Chains A and B, each alone.
Chain A
C-alpha cells in the first residue's frame, strides 16, 4: 500500500454518461500525475499537477476530459460523454519534492472504467 487512494475502484457506465474519479495522495505529496492504461499496454500520461496548478496536459486529454486539484490535495478526473474507447484503468501517481529519490512515482490502486 503506497498510501495513495483512488475512488471508485470500479465504474461501469453507459456510453454518453459523465463519470468522475478521485485520487487522494499522501498529504505531503505535492506532485500528482494521472495516467491511463489499456489492456496489454503500459500506462500513458494524461496530466500533471504541482500543488493546485495543472502544469501539463497530454494530447490524449481531449476536451471531454477535465482534471482539477482545487486545494493542492485530492484531485478529480472527469470524463464527459463517455465513449467505449474510454474503457481503461485510470491511475493516479504521486511524489514529492524535497527529499531524496524525489523522482519516484507511487501509484494508487487505480479506477477501472468500463463503458458499455
Chain B
C-alpha cells in the first residue's frame, strides 16, 4: 500500500463545474496536509494547507480533512480552463524522532477543464 494515494485520473470536467480530487494516506499520526498544483513542465505550487478536521475554504478552493478516515479532498468550484493541471496531495511527516517534516506526495491527478 502506498503511503499517499490519489484517485486515478485523468479527470475531465466542463468549465463552471465542481472538480473533486481525493487523497488517502496511511500514516494515522500525520497532522499536516497540503495540495499543490503543478502545470506541465513547472514546479509544484502550494494552493492549500489543512491541519484540522473539517473544511477550509480559500476562494474557489475548499480542502476537506477527515483524520478518522485518513482522507483529504480538494474541491474546485466554478472550474476554469486555467485550472487544468496536475494536482498533488502531500502529507507531512511531523517533526520528531528521525523525521524532520519531509513531505510524501501522491502520484498526482491530472485535471482537464474543457470549455
Chain A positions within 8 Å of B, measured between CB atoms, are 31, 33, 35, 40-45, 48, 50, 55-56, 89, 91, 93, 95, 101, 103-110
Contacts and interface: CB of A to CB of B under 8 A. Distances in A.
Contacts, number: 63
Interface size class of B (residues with CB under 8 A): 20 to 34
Nearest to B103: A105
B7 interface: no
B49 A107 contact: no
Interface in B45-87: 45-46, 49, 51
Nearest to A91: B43
Nearest to B36: A107
A43 B42 CA distance: 12
A113 B34 CA distance: 26
B16 interface: no
Contacts of B45: 107
28 contacts: A33-B103, A35-B103, A40-B107, A41-B108, A42-B88, A42-B106, A42-B107, A42-B108, A43-B105, A48-B100, A48-B101, A56-B98, A56-B100, A89-B43, A91-B44, A93-B103, A95-B101, A101-B49, A104-B34, A104-B46, A105-B103, A107-B36, A107-B43, A107-B45, A107-B46, A108-B43, A109-B42, A110-B42
